[in-house]
Structure 1
């Protein structure tokens, strides 16, 4: 197959929302790009991460999504993103082309594209940084060092969060990863998820950024809150579990969601990242508890209690 050299599909997810709705979303970059990294090469990892912030997105361009049931015409935004909900069913041999050309755009990810499961009894929506992997988000210098010089296979998985996911397997939940990490890191994060045998789920990341945008902090305000609202309203399951940590704003975001969807949020898990809880964290935790939604603020020593509670909750859902 001859692929276009004008652009590359960097990130692509197709989720069956219901019997007649499919969500297509992705990111397109300029030129012929690659997402692969040589396993175990720290220096190459640093080069690849840095290079991503000097790669241009394929912005404000029309593209075509070709499925067995028809063609969907859509357009990338200023960040190279596209998103469309369509009645046209996905196909396993899905192709994306430019609107004015027959050449197919190469899809470079080594991660599932199509997620066939419709709504379930339970969806788990989880943060990534310092929730499933140690990212040191509270310390900018340590975070940069970790990001650049630890390859995904050597990043530290947070075992207790993984055990929470495994404990819920009997209910057969879908899992969504929603993170403020930018799409530049999609390959790194999906490699980590696969290497650690975490559940495979749709990733929703902030836009692909240039170096200047990264330095200026040009991530969309309320991105994470709006992304989770979208998932709840478009893929409405009977119940949701939210998983996050106390290093940033997960507790405040989940408090807002608990107030908005009290009948849908079954449980909130917050990972404690430090030995001590500061005043801000304590206030956010108390505000979250005041919503009346069941929540756990956990350390590894709380494992037995939380896993026992999961067994009780599962019997209510199965």
Structure 2
């Protein structure tokens, strides 16, 4: 197949929602960028690949056409090169995306799955990524940058509790979503990490693709994570949700708001303690979370075994 060299498709995914509707989303980058699919194994090449990504240009305000079988969807990218659209057009094996003024399809720059079309499950698990699934040192900017640039995905540390917790829920056959404030630039790094550590394959929902100057200025939507999870809960209409996060940033604040919005849908909230002790601010956020009445656990390493026993009890609730 001959692909256009004008643009490439990044972080592309299709989610099967309810009522015969599908969520199509992705990012358009200018140029073909085929080199982004190459495997990088050294710290130096990892750092160069990540740094270079912040100097690529997105294809903003561009009309595109999604063709699935004999049906088409027309949409437009935003200022960040993103497109998101809910459509009743069912994804077919022969699915292409083209710029509105070309016939050659866009190349998809990922080895990670595109289609998340499983039927609705009894349980959906929505998890943060940084310091919840992998150690990112988000509370220390210098450690975070060092970890991000100098550790290849295969050498990043997986968080044992979360990995074991996912395994404990496995026989319930849940759907998994990874919702993170990490920018779209890190999509390949994160999906490589997930695949390498045999973590559950789930749809990633990341903040917009950023250039270097936007990154420095903190150009990330303030309520991105809250709104993304609201969208998933509202549109997928699962029967039960488990939310997983940590105490290094604002997960507890966000999950408190969600617990108030959907008290009958959220089965459990897990918050991983990242430090040796809890700060006054962290304890205050925790108190506000448990005051919602939704079942929640603040997890420290020594409590991991009791949490796994609690999961066995919760699974009985789903039967």
TM range (shorter): over 0.9
Please list, as runs of the form range in 1=range in 2, the aligned pairs for 1:199-214 lying within 5 A after superposition: 199-214=200-215
The equivalent of 1:295 in structure 2 is 296
2:11–2:27 CA contact under 8 A, matched in 1: yes
The equivalent of 1:173 in structure 2 is 174
Deviations 1:107-135 (A, max 9, x none): 01010000111321110000000000000
Within 2, Cα distance between the matches of 1:114 and 1:312? 32
Unaligned stretches of 5+ residues in structure 2: none
The equivalent of 1:38 in structure 2 is 39
Please list, as runs of the form range in 1=range in 2, the aligned pairs for 1:1-318 lying within 5 A after superposition: 1-34=1-34, 35-318=36-319
1:69–1:89 CA contact under 8 A, matched in 2: no
Q: 1:69 deviation in Å?
A: 4.5
- Aligned CA RMSD, in angstroms, stands at 0.9
Within 2, Cα distance between the matches of 1:32 and 1:292? 50
Greater than 6 Å deviation, 4+ residue runs: none
Within 2, Cα distance between the matches of 1:252 and 1:36? 36
2:80–2:210 CA contact under 8 A, matched in 1: yes
Within 1, Cα distance between the matches of 2:18 and 2:91? 12
Within 1, Cα distance between the matches of 2:71 and 2:37? 31
2:46–2:152 CA contact under 8 A, matched in 1: yes
Q: 1:92 deviation in Å?
A: 2.5
Within 2, Cα distance between the matches of 1:9 and 1:36? 12
Within 1, Cα distance between the matches of 2:270 and 2:163? 12
2:18–2:237 CA contact under 8 A, matched in 1: no
Unaligned stretches of 5+ residues in structure 1: none
Deviations 1:7-49 (A, max 9, x none): 0001100111125111100111001113224342110110010
Deviations 1:234-259 (A, max 9, x none): 11100100000000000000000000
Aligned to 1:95, what secondary structure does the other structure show? strand
Q: 1:170 deviation in Å?
A: 1.3
- Could you tell me the TM-score, scaled by structure 2's length? 0.98
1:123–1:173 CA contact under 8 A, matched in 2: yes
Aligned to 1:57, what secondary structure does the other structure show? coil
Equivalent pairs counted in the alignment come to 318
Within 1, Cα distance between the matches of 2:314 and 2:70? 41
